[in-house]
Structure 1
Amino acid sequence: MTTLRTAAASAVAFDTLATADSAELGLLGSGTQARAHARAVARVRPLRSVRLWSPSPERRARAARDLAAELGIPVVAVDTPREAVTGLPMVAACTLSSTPVLHGDWLTPGCTVVSVGSFEPTRSEVDQETVRRAAAVVVDDPETARDHTGPVVTALRDGLLTPDDLIPLGAAVTGRRQARTGSDDIVLHLSVGIGVQDAAAAWAVIDAARGREHRS
């Protein structure tokens, strides 16, 4: 459930924040969460290809084969995280790294980055250059992000961000806050998950189960 909820929230973020023509994904990670993100993004965008990196050559090669067969698109395992993201319009970071695997100077203008691995104050899978280059920093909930999201905690401490700079994803979805103002903006979404996402996912499961009961 957590995997599906997290990936679904990221898909909403990409669908809301990415440029209209974004159709290629750079994926950092090859585990359950990374695979779920590729599937979820393919539900909201017409993915043409995926580039994938993780530290283990065997795991990234296996994940690339599995996703290519499942999604029916080219999925290429690459040797470095930089290769996985350079020149691409969408990047998903799904690692457990406590130090950056994504560096802001690798990102192309217009890129939308979703990071789900920085869920503790000591975890920062994206570096501060990524935060600095971002025209907008979007989070699940600003109060939660201020206390729990590593890159946000560091950026607030160092004066790179102020609390008012943090845009709630819900506000971006409903249009109450504007994240992307131009096609060259780099937009960063940092997610740690919040309770309302769990509630929504649980309700979706209940609703689907009731639908099956009615059909039977």
Structure 2
Amino acid sequence: MSYDYLFKYIIIGDTGVGKSCLLLQFTDKRFQPVHDLTIGVEFGARMVSIDSRPIKLQIWDTAGQESFRSITRSYYRGAAGALLVYDITRRDTFNHLASWLEDARQHANPNMTIMLIGNKCDLSHRRAVSKEEGEQFAKENGLLFLEASARTAQNVEEAFIRTAGKILQNIKEGVFDVSNESFGIKVGYGRPQGQSGARDGTVSARGGCCS
């Protein structure tokens, strides 16, 4: 299926925060409660429509274990967007955000759009990190922010699409040189003139659940 742009995403964060579950919910619209840890990197993709323009999202889901950090770092290069995920029920995953963000800033292009996601908001009775803390961290570091639930699908769609919307806005403002694919953006080709936006939910590949 043709598209106007392809955006490359990377999903990062501690192990067990639900990175793969977010990807699976976005690409397949399903939740898989029993899962294996992601080993290395898994992949998923989906077509979405942003401002009536078909955009293909190519998403790399990375392992959260320290032993895979060197592999993960290689995927920062060439990513236009990142989803930085923590688990609202586990304080340590929030405390480690600064380390993940430092990695991203060091290895990615400086204009990469980063969406901070507090996952598992369906477990608010076990909350260890307040929404206000997440909002404050995002504000201090220039990140987008949402709380989401891979289980109920709350805000999952919005997290991926808001990130794409910000990247598209940056393209319009000339922040990216779209002819340089190292920014994680590829210009589409072969789309007939006048064709309307792509149908949401088109799945071309997916990863497993849950890193």
**TM > 0.5 between the two?**
no
Looking at both structures, which has the greater relative contact order when contacts are Cα pairs under 8 Å and sequence separation is at least 6?
2
Which of the two has greater strand per residue?
2
